[in-house]
Amino acid sequence: MPAPDLSRGAPSHGALAGLRVIDLSRVLAGPLCTQMLADHGADVVKIEPPSGDETRLLGPPFDEAGDAAYFGGVNRGKRALGLDLARPEGRAVLEALLKDADILVENYLPGTMERWNLGYEEVLSVRHPRLVYCAISGFGADGPLGGLPGYDAVLQAMSGLMSINGTPESGPTRVGVPIVDYVTGYNALTGILLALAARQQTGRGQRVDVTLFDTALSLLVPHAANWLCSGRTPGRLGSAHPNIAPYDKFAAGDGELFLGIVNDGQFRRFCRQVKREDLLEDPRFGTNAARLQHVDALRGEIQRTLAAFKVEDLCRDLMRSGVPAGAVNTVPQAFAQAHVAHRQMLIDQDGRRAPGIPVKLARTPGRPGLPPPRYGEHGREILAEAGFDRVAIDGLLASGVLKTTNDHKERKR
């Protein structure tokens, strides 16, 4: 990878220092991907349309500048440029920025870039052969669903994820976090890094194609494998596991905990810890396969036993004996755990608080960069770096091709 070029404002830290990213994405999957690139040193230029990234409006809560907390959660470390790409002058600005870009990330409806004469195969790969082009979409560009819009919850429904989430009484239920969008962001990051590794060998970039549809289907572990092997349609088990027992949520005397017992050794240690060695003599519970066959009886025995324990004490003693167990926490309780601070998973700097960086590199660690940008905040400096003089920048502003923070404030009113 190239050495850092500090003259163009790129961060000087991290494994990706010196790389420039043009981020045309909005909402969650794309912005999460590019935030992770920024966390590890890439210079990310976020280009937003005149309407802005939709997540700026997805609140409350809103920050002091009027942007939703949702937006701040996936856009730190970036510089922002407001640009009307529907106009030829805006596309000319984008072309100028691509001259020294390494990566472009977009999540437009398939065909949008081609209509703007900026398609990868016929145009950008020829003009910018080293460019890694990442397209994120709902279903891809072709096929029976090609070109159609996709959103996380819709894909949860279509892929079968909702069908296995919930209880028989609740019916199919959306997973409480946008898991399809989130993992799509990670898949996009993985694809980009693979393409950069290949570029080191070939000198050429390539197209990275990531869809919510593919990601959602890939999340069906182990349910898809179980169905493909047995022919039996997976159902809703609440918090339980289709292949492991006891692997479920239980009530103790003062709250709830989750037991993650995946092998016979852990089950033996659990029984001894809670003084239920008698369960070890019961042939119904001797192996995982037997426990699955008699899971309701086992659950009843465990539930009656745990009623005499306090969650905190029980989880501590079980974990120390090698039995995975954790309290069912609220979000505030989760971030209050001492291990959060130890793992640096809560950023608290300059009045900003956010979840930390989950990937730890020993020699080139990432770190959170700039605060989430205001709309169009860095337009002048980004265009100046690209070679535009003051007269040209003023002309773009006057014509409405280049947008500013004030333009966005007027729109929000």
Enzyme catalytic residues: 181
DSSP string, 286-329: SSHHHHHHTHHHHHHHHHHHHTTS-HHHHHHHHHHTT--EEE--
Contact 291, 267 (CB under 8 A): yes
85, amino acid identity: L
CA–CA–CA angle 294, 298, 300 (5° rounding)? 125
Farthest CA pair distance, the chain = 85
Distance, in Å, from the CA atom of 112 to the CA atom of 382, rounded to the nearest integer, reads: 24
228, amino acid identity: L
Tokens of 143: 């096929």
Contacts of 188 (CB under 8 A, 6+ apart): 29, 30, 33, 105, 134, 136, 208, 210
Give the chain's end-to-end CA distance (angstroms, integer).
Answer: 44
